Chain A
Amino acid sequence: MTLSWSDPKFRALIWQIIIIGAVGWGLWYLISNTSYNLEHRHIATGFAFLDRTAGIPIGEHLIAYDPAVNTYGRAIVIAILNTLNVSIVTVILVTIIGTAVGIAQLSNNWLLAKISATYVEVVRDIPVLLQLLFWYTLVQTLPVVRQSWNPVPGVFISNRGVRFPTLVWEHAHTAALLAFILGIVLTVIVRRRAKRVQDATGVRPRTWPATLGLLVVLPLVVWAVFGAPFVLDIPARRGFNFVGGGVFSPEYVALVTGLVVYTSTYAAENVRTGILAVPQGQWEAAGALGLRRGTVLRTVVLPQSLRVIIPPMTSTYLGAVKNSSLAVAIGYQDVVSIMNTILNQTGQAIEGIALVMAIYLCFSLGISLFMNWYNARIALVER
């Protein structure tokens, strides 16, 4: 590098110094303004507030929480768990419904194809926040507890949410669950061996008896050995509310419904374009082998289209997780909602918003990493 303006490297260096200097100066200016303003308005700084008693009532918490005792830190952990709860359920439902609708759009049945296409077309052009408000209004117009719907014995749908029976958990169930997990591991091993035998001899040994035994019989036997306890906690009406059983709150129901309805349209479009990206010849070749349309779709086309589907699906999932922050508009206590309350109580806006951003960045990063790993796993292995 020569110290001359006609040397591109020297020029690039000078430009970089100027630009970084400008950006750095801008940041420093904002920070100095902020610290001056904070001092001037006597706003505390730092994360010490996380250890103070929260005093925020939280309706839904997956871990124990008492506003009079627990700290802001624990409230935030609960908020993260609530966001995760909504996000995971949404992502699973979106995957199932989106795939179904995406395939339905390509159906031979004219009516089914048209209805799915209309659903996608209409729902994705309406803001998700508006849809959430709409669902929340709808949930609130459900009948009161006294006249609640009882579609299945033990399940009650009312404007207080959905009540459902829960299993009274005992050691036997834990043991059965462990047996089931063990069964899954053993099934995978059996299948692998079967595949090896098939590769070597061309004949695939029968695996379904082993699968059935490992996945169904083994857990049942373990459960029976422990005395086969089966007690349901069934909700019952008491006055103006229910007692017993589990509950999905109205806010949770509205939030998950709205997010799933909205996001599944994007998932459906991803699936549809992914399937269309598989060359027509693949359909024809599989058809020539005598496979039926459903089998062709399941075993030939979908595995190939996954490679096209996964990258846009990653951003769809990310969008769903980020949109779950709209929970604040309908009063479900997720990260943004609880942090908003904390901001109002402590006045520490900068720390609070920095925490929220850090949490969402972690979610985004986690999903991206997982999807990239999955994408690499199913990528076409070329020579």
Chain B
Amino acid sequence: MSATTPRAVHEIGQPRREPPPSLIAGPLAWMRTNLFNSWISTAVTLALGYIVLRLGFSFIDWGVIHAVWSVPNTPAGTPDPAACRAAHGTGACWAMIGDKYRFITFGRYPYEQQWRPLIVIFLFIGLFVVSGMRRFWRKELALIWIVTLVVIGTLMWGGILGLPYVGQDLWGGLPITLILSTFGLAIAFPLALVVALGRRSTTMPAVRLVCVLYIELIRGVPLITLLFMSSVMFPLFFPAWLPTPDKLLRAQLAIILFAGAYLAEVVRAGLQGLPKGQYEAADALGLGYWRKMIFVILPQALRLVIPPLVNTFIGFFKDTSLVLIIGIFDLLTAGKIAVAEPIWQAYATEVYIVLSVVYFLFCFSMSRYSRGLEREFRTSARR
């Protein structure tokens, strides 16, 4: 809506009456065009403004003003939740988080050794940041990944270099969430490349059929059924002479199978998005199938699908929380077990809010990154 109106006929020749400058620019004009544009808009603004302010104030009231930030210990050494109980319903009990944050973050990992999973968390974050920087987008990145994942494995298990051994059954919390999603991606990705190429194959219909069956079968069922499969069916698959892998490894296998199918579809979109000329040019150079793919097609196709790949990864990161249902100790499970403790039972909301913030921080930063990348690609494609 422009602030000036066309002049009526009788006004022509008269000096034009301009609206006051405050209605053309400045905060008042901005509010007029963006908040009070019409009577409907005004009503919406007022109603929404009222709701937002009211919710915001009551949240601050609950979460800050009336909140209990810490509680004293009883003589027995356990926290005394009396203050929280008194504030229940009117104020949040953040003291519960203060008491349980290490359990929620690291699970049942031995208390004195928890610096190890802490380093692991930072290693994972560092790995994500490094992978996100375009300066590192070359072959060495694969090496960085392998080295980091090996270091992470060493830190978590221990048993060498003077670190005491910690079994997988004691791992838990945020490292499990990061391990399941990252290892899932790292191992599913090569699988996805092969399956996507197989699905695009024109000369081998039987291979294409196998790939299509795998992708559609996995994408047609919920992840939870695959996780159930890993927990009750995988033990039956293994030969009797082989020790059955533990629950975490089986869940990881299920997540890899699941991620493989979804990543394959993302890669396939990239392969399809490439102009046909690229394939023909590679053929004209006399390159064989694998050289054509490795040197010409995949480097371009993968670059094209980095933003959707990041989005898929965000999905896996959130989906790993489903392992709660088969009883694996990830971040969400740790939070849920923390509130199962009798004295903290009434404060589940607080824990869920904190967990939401953690998940949100990871996912939001990744989605911001992917969106920035998309914009960058669009401008570079236009040039």
Give residues in A with beta carbon < 8 Å to B. Answer: 8-9, 12, 15-16, 19-20, 23, 30, 33-34, 36-38, 40, 108-112, 115, 121-122, 124-131, 133-134, 137-138, 141, 322-323, 325-326, 328-329, 336, 340, 343, 349-350, 353, 356-357, 360-361, 364-365
B12 CB–A CB distance under 8 Å:
no
Which residues does chain A contribute within 8 Å of B356, judged by CB atoms? 126, 130-131, 134
B52 in the interface (beta carbon within 8 A):
yes
B35 to chain A: which residues have CB within 8 Å? 109-111
Verify A340–B228 contact, CB threshold 8 A.
yes
Can you list 16 A-B pairs, Cβ within 8 angstroms, ordered by A? A12-B203, A15-B204, A19-B204, A30-B237, A36-B240, A112-B48, A125-B314, A126-B359, A131-B356, A137-B348, A328-B224, A336-B225, A336-B228, A360-B220, A360-B225, A364-B220
Q: Is B232 an interface residue (CB 8 A)?
A: yes
Tell me which of B34, B204, B220, B235 contacts A108 (CB under 8 A). B34
Could you tell me the distance between the alpha carbons of A40 and B240 in the complex, rounded to whole angstroms?
Answer: 10
Q: Which residue of A lies closest to B360 (CB)?
A: A125
What is the distance, in angstroms, from B236's C-beta to the closest C-beta of chain A? 5
Q: How far is the CA of A349 from the CA of B348 in the complex (A)?
A: 33
Given A12-B204, A112-B48, A130-B332: A361 and B220 within 8 A (CB)? yes
Number of B residues, CB within 8 Å of A: 53
Name the residue of chain B whose CB is nearest to the CB of A12: B203
- Contact of A20 with B319 in the complex, beta carbons under 8 Å: no
Q: Measured between C-beta atoms, what is the minimum distance from A84 to chain B in Å?
A: 15
Contact of B206 among A19, A109, A128, A365 (CB under 8 A): A19
Q: A19-B206, A129-B324, A336-B222 are in contact. Are A115 and B352 (CB under 8 A)?
A: no
What are the residues of chain A within 8 A of B318 when measuring CB–CB?
Answer: 125-128
Of the candidates A133, A343, A356, the one having the most CB atoms from chain B within 10 angstroms of its own CB is A133
A121: which B residues are within 8 A, CB to CB?
A: 364
- Min Cβ gap B329→A in Å is 15
- Min distance, Cβ A329 to any Cβ of chain B, angstroms: 6
Do A115 and B48 touch across chains, with their CB atoms under 8 A apart?
yes
Q: Is there a chain A Cβ closer than 8 Å to B238's Cβ?
A: yes
Report the nearest A residue to B223, measured CB to CB. Answer: A322
Closest 8 CB pairs of A and B: A125-B363, A110-B34, A322-B222, A127-B318, A349-B232, A127-B321, A364-B220, A325-B222
* Residue interface mask B304-338, A partner, CB < 8 A = 1: 00000000001000110110110000001000100
**Assuming A134-B349, A325-B225, is B324 touching A126 (CB within 8 A)?**
no
Structural contact, A109 and B34, CB atoms closer than 8 A: yes
B contact patch SS? helix
User: Which A residues are in CB contact (< 8 Å) with B220?
Assistant: 357, 360-361, 364-365
Of B33, B228, B237, B322, the residue contacting A34 (CB under 8 A) is B237
B360 / chain A contacts, CB cutoff of 8 Å: 122, 125-126
A126 to B367, CA, bound (A): 12
Q: Which of B205-251 contact A (CB under 8 A)?
A: 205-207, 210, 217, 219-225, 228-229, 232-233, 235-240
Residue B45 CB within 8 A of the other chain: yes
Q: Quick check: B232 and A343 within 8 Å, CB to CB? A: yes
**Contact partners of B287 in chain A: CB under 8 A:** none
Q: How far is the CB of A195 from chain B (nearest CB, A)?
A: 32
Residues in A whose Cβ lies below 8 Å from that of B203: 8-9, 12
B125 at the interface (CB under 8 A from A): no
* A377 to B41 Cα, complex, angstroms: 36
CB contact between A115 and one of B52, B325, B332 (< 8 Å): that residue: B52
Q: Which residues of A have CB within 8 Å of B355?
A: 130
- Given the contacts A110-B35, A129-B321, A357 and B221 also touching, CB distance less than 8 Å: yes
With a cutoff of 8 Å between Cβ atoms, the chain A residues found around residue B352 in the complex are 130, 133-134, 137
Q: Which residues of B contact A (CB under 8 A)?
A: 33-35, 37, 41, 44-45, 48-49, 52, 203-207, 210, 217, 219-225, 228-229, 232-233, 235-240, 314, 318-319, 321-322, 324-325, 332, 336, 348-349, 352, 355-356, 359-360, 363-364, 367
Which residues of chain A have C-beta atoms less than 8 A from B359's C-beta?
A: 125-127, 130
**What residues on B are CB-neighbors of A343 within 8 Å?**
228, 232
Instruction: For the complex, give the distance between the alpha carbons of A127 and B358 in Å.
Output: 11
Q: A130-B356, A137-B352 are in contact. List 15 more A-B contacts (CB 8 A).
A: A19-B206, A33-B238, A33-B239, A33-B240, A37-B238, A37-B240, A111-B35, A111-B48, A115-B52, A122-B360, A127-B359, A129-B322, A336-B222, A349-B233, A357-B221
CB of B237 within 8 A of CB of A361, answer no
**Central interface residue in B49, B239, B319, B352, by most chain A CB within 10 Å:** B352
- Point out the residues of chain B lying under 8 angstroms from A12, CB to CB: 203-204
Residue among B41, B219, B321, B332 making CB contact with A109, cutoff 8 Å: B41
**Contacts A111-B45, A112-B44; A356 near B225 (Cβ below 8 A):** yes
- Distance in angstroms from A37 CB to nearest chain B CB is 5
Which of chain A's residues has its CB closest to B45's CB?
A: A111
For B224, give the chain A residue with the smallest CB separation.
Answer: A325
- How distant is the Cα of A357 from the Cα of B349 in the complex, in angstroms? 34
**Complex Cα gap A12–B363 (Å):** 43
A341 to chain B, nearest CB (A): 12
Chain A residues with CB below 8 A from B319, complex form = 127
Q: In the complex, which residues of chain A have a beta carbon less than 8 angstroms from the beta carbon of B33?
A: 108
Residues of A within 8 A of B232 (CB): 343, 349, 353
B359 CB, nearest partner CB in chain A, Å: 5
Which residues from chain B contact A37 at a C-beta distance below 8 Å? 235-236, 238, 240
Q: A16-B207, A109-B41 are in contact. Are A326 and B224 (CB under 8 A)?
A: yes
Q: How far is the CA of A349 from the CA of B204 in the complex (A)?
A: 35
Indicate the member of B221, B319, B349 with the most A CB atoms within 10 Å: B221
* Shortest beta-carbon distance from A336 to chain B in Å: 6
| Beta-carbon nearest neighbor of B314 in chain A | A125
B236 touches A33 (CB 8 A): yes
A357–B48 Cα distance when bound, in Å, is: 44
CB distance from A153 to the nearest CB of B (A): 25
> What is the bound-complex CA distance between A8 and B288, given in angstroms?
11
Q: Give the chain B neighbours of A130 by CB distance below 8 A.
A: 321, 332, 352, 355-356, 359
Q: How far is the CB of A129 from chain B (nearest CB, A)?
A: 5
Please indicate the chain B residues that have their CB under 8 angstroms from the CB of A326 in the complex.
224, 322, 325
Chain A residues with CB below 8 A from B235, complex form: 37
- The residue in chain A whose Cβ has the minimal distance to the Cβ of B219 is A364
Q: Which of A129, A360, A365 has the most CB of B within 10 A?
A: A129
- Smallest CB gap from A136: residue in B: B348
CA distance A237 to B205 in the complex (A): 66
Give CA–CA (A361, B348) in the complex, Å: 35
- A137 to B345 Cα, complex, angstroms: 11
